[in-house]
């Protein structure tokens, strides 16, 4: 991982970190700009705030809140005009640093090789090619290739998204408004091949930033098994998927032979329309690169599930997770913290803990707590109001999460699943 540190005549330090998949610019420990290998800007730390650019040029700004912790973080999406101004500012900075590292009186002050210095200068030259006008053209192309990428699990934010389906086959959960703007559609095989071709061309050299493939949209794994196998075979024909059984030197050798590769295929799954899939079905998908599926448990309380408009039962989740695990695929279980307000709070905690403790979750599996957010076009808040149910405060939701975590019991602590936080307000693709 070469690092090249420049010092200008006026004492400014410009440090460039050159990774195999991307590069970053650090200036006087005051700002950070991050780029993919094609030179596209994708995130920054600037004036105490973190910024993330979506492929459609949306900009998400995040900063510390009134109290420590993710639930209190302040977030906002910039307006279109603010986003353009921000991107213009970032580009102006890149132009300034490009000129600075090429100035005759600028020195390299670490032990970087001449090749690394040339690499750093070439990387910044790629970055300045992406001005606002080019990024705006890119937005137009992105919106032709993709329907809106509404949400991904946090560990998949840098996945390469492939949309085998568009929208949600169910689309009636009262807390979710992600897919209300589109009809559900399953691509045919030719559509999917063309989609992959367009995605490859769009990302170009920047594809190296993407470590995994995420098969979208909401519940792509509901596709009938024969068609789903065909989709997976197309993916494997187009991309190098890292074999699951390689370790040590064998893995290093394979990675060296496949410099552009993906660690696996991931996807959402539901516990109702996927009942038809068996452990053998999941094993067939695992053999083709499926590594983890994410299931929206939401709650282990059947009464709350009914209130939320979820058609599955806790028993459905148990059957699904057992089949997925038996097929050699990991799971990510998502719990909706705060769902149902004060009326359901106690039974939500008790029954969810009881259900989690019956699931065969181990290392490689995930448990996500997702705070219920009043998403536009969702009906949860209206239903609470109609039923005279008090919503939980942020503090009460945090306490609910603490109680659940304290109640989890795993057979082997060293082999336990990872438990983490999932905030849908943090996502932008």
According to the model, what pLDDT value does residue 274 have? 60
Rounded to 10 degrees, the C-alpha dihedral 266/271/276/277 comes to 30
How many other C-beta atoms are found inside a 10 Å radius of the C-beta of residue 9? 11
Residues 343, 260, single domain; the answer is: yes
Q: Based on the fold, state whether residues 341 and 210 are members of the same structural domain.
A: yes
Q: Which residue has the tokens 């993709």?
A: 146
Whether 259 maps to a domain, the answer reads yes
pLDDT of residue 181: 85
As given in the structure block, the two tokens for residue 126 are 């790629």
- Describe the strand order of the beta sheet including 366-371 as a list of residue ranges: 160-163, 213-216, 265-269, 290-298, 330-337, 366-371, 418-422
Collapsing DSSP states into helix, strand and coil, what is residue 137? Answer: helix
Structure tokens given for 219: 């519940």
Q: Are residues 235 and 310 in the same domain?
A: yes
pLDDT at site 65: 84
Q: Given 97, 130, 163, which residue is the final one in a domain?
A: 130
Q: How far is CA 326 from CA 255, 294, 411, in A?
A: 28, 16, 18
d(CA 139, CA 58): 9
Cα-based distances in Å from 201 to 126, 145, 197, 205: 17, 10, 6, 9
**Alpha carbon of 285 to those of 115, 124, 232, 275, 329: distances in Å?**
43, 41, 7, 15, 9
Give me 310's structure tokens: 């979820």
Of 219, 372, 401, 185, nearest to 295 (Cα)? 219
Residue 141 maps to a domain: no
Are residues 123 and 167 both part of a single domain?
no
Give how many domains the chain has, as a whole number: 2
What tens-digit pLDDT sequence spans the chain (429 residues)? 799 999 999 999 999 999 999 999 999 988 999 999 999 999 999 999 999 999 999 999 999 888 887 778 889 999 999 999 999 999 999 999 999 999 999 999 999 999 999 999 999 999 999 999 999 999 999 999 999 999 999 999 999 999 999 999 888 888 888 898 889 999 999 999 999 999 999 999 999 999 999 999 988 999 999 999 999 999 999 999 999 999 999 999 999 999 999 999 999 999 887 668 999 999 999 999 999 999 999 999 999 999 999 999 999 999 999 999 999 999 999 999 999 999 999 999 999 999 999 999 999 999 999 999 876 666 888 888 889 999 999 999 999 999 999 999 998 888 999 999 999 999 999
The reply to whether 162 and 275 lie within a common domain is yes
Evaluate whether residue 139 is within a structural domain.
Answer: no
Q: How far apart are CA 233 and CA 237, in angstroms?
A: 6
Does the residue 263 lie in any domain?
yes
Residues 99 and 17 in one domain: yes
Domain span including residue 268: 146-426
Q: Of 70, 98, 130, which residue constitutes the final position of a domain? A: 130
- 185 and 58 part of one domain: no
Provide the CATH number for the domain around residue 225: 3.20.20.70
326 and 221 housed in the same domain: yes
Q: Is residue 334 part of a domain?
A: yes
CA of residue 350 relative to chain centroid, distance: 29
> Do 249 and 391 reside in the same domain of the chain?
yes
Q: Indicate whether 59 belongs to any domain.
A: yes
| Structural domain ending residue among the three candidates 70, 104, 130 | 130
DSSP one-letter string for 116-127: HHHHHHHHHHHH
Q: Same domain for 23 and 95? A: yes
Q: Which residue has the tokens 């170009």?
A: 204
3-state secondary structure of 360: coil
> How far is Cα 354 from Cα 90, in angstroms, rounded to an integer?
50
In a domain, 354, yes or no: yes
- Do 92 and 175 sit in the same domain of this protein? no
- Residue 88, judged by CB atoms within 10 A of its CB (0-12, 13-18, 19+), counts as middle
Q: What is the DSSP letter of 393?
A: P
Residue 140 resides in a domain:
no
Give yes or no: residues 220 and 81 share one domain: no
């Amino acid at each position: 991982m070469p690092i090249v540190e420049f010092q200008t005549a006026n004492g400014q330090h410009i440090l460039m970190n050159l990774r195999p998949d991307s590069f970053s610019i650090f200036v006087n420990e005051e700002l950070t700009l991050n780029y993919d290998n094609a030179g596209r800007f994708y995130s920054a730390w600037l004036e105490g705030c973190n910024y993330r650019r979506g492929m459609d040029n949306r900009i998400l700004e995040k900063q510390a809140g009134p109290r420590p912790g993710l639930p209190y973080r302040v977030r906002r999406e910039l307006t279109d005009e603010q986003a353009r101004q921000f991107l213009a500012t970032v580009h102006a900075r890149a132009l300034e640093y490009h000129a600075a590292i090429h100035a005759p009186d600028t020195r390299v002050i670490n032990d970087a090789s001449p090749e690394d210095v040339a690499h750093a200068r070439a990387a910044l030259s790629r970055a300045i090619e992406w001005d606002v006008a080019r990024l705006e053209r890119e937005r137009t192309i992105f919106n032709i290739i993709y329907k809106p990428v509404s949400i991904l699990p946090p560990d998949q934010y840098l996945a390469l998204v492939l949309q085998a389906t568009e929208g949600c086959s169910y689309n009636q959960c009262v807390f979710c408004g992600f897919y209300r703007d589109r009809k559900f559609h399953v691509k045919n095989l030719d559509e999917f091949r063309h989609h992959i071709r367009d995605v490859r061309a769009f990302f170009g050299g920047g594809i190296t930033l993407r470590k995994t493939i995420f098969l979208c949209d909401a519940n792509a794994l509901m596709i009938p098994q024969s068609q789903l196998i065909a989709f997976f075979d197309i993916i494997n024909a187009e991309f190098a998927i890292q074999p699951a059984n390689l370790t040590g030197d064998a893995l290093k050798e394979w990675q060296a032979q496949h410099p552009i590769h993906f660690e696996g295929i991931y996807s959402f799954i539901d516990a109702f329309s996927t009942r038809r899939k068996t452990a053998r079905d999941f094993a067939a998908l695992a053999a083709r690169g499926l590594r983890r599926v994410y299931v929206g448990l939401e709650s282990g309380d059947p009464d709350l599930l009914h209130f939320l408009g979820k058609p599955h039962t806790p028993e459905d989740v148990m059957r699904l997770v057992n089949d997925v695990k038996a097929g050699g695929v990991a799971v990510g279980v998502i719990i909706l913290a705060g769902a149902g307000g004060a009326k359901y709070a106690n039974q939500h905690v008790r029954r969810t803990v009881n259900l989690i403790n019956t699931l065969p979750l181990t290392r490689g599996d995930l448990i996500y707590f997702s705070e219920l957010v009043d998403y536009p076009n969702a009906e949860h808040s209206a239903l609470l109001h109609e039923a005279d149910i008090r919503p939980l405060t942020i503090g009460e939701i945090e306490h609910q999460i603490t109680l659940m975590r304290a109640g989890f019991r795993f057979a082997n602590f060293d082999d336990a699943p990872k438990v983490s936080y999932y905030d849908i307000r943090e996502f932008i693709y």
